[in-house]
């Protein structure tokens, strides 16, 4: 897979649940939100990604650190 193919994405579902998808992983992050923001560290096959997710308002990710909320949306 090319690096761009390894980008994570997320989805919202009826009932309010929030899921992150990355490299054949599906992770429920619904309970991780505090004040509308969630920080998720993803690991697989020696690769690590850091995600900052705003509830129903976008996300950003990095291979180095959690993205700052001011850097997006």
Classify residue 18 as left (phi > 0), alpha (psi -120 to 50) or beta. beta
Examine the pLDDT at 71 and tell me if it is beyond 80.
no
pTM confidence score: 0.82
Confidence label for 34 from pLDDT (cuts 50, 70 and 90): very high
* CA pair distance 63, 57, nearest whole angstrom: 21
CB 1 within 8 A of CB 44: no
Confidence label for 28 from pLDDT (cuts 50, 70 and 90): very high
Burial class (CB in 10 A: 0-12, 13-18, 19+), 70: exposed
pLDDT averaged over the chain? 86
β partners of residue 52: 39, 60
Confidence label for 32 from pLDDT (cuts 50, 70 and 90): very high
């Amino acid at each position: 897979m090319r690096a761009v193919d390894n980008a994570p994405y997320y989805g919202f579902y009826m009932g309010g649940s929030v899921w992150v998808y990355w490299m054949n992983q599906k992770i429920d992050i619904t309970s991780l939100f505090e004040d509308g923001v969630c920080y998720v560290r993803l690991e697989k096959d020696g690769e690590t990604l850091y995600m900052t997710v705003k509830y129903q308002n976008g996300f950003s990710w990095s291979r180095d650190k959690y993205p700052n909320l001011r850097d997006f949306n």
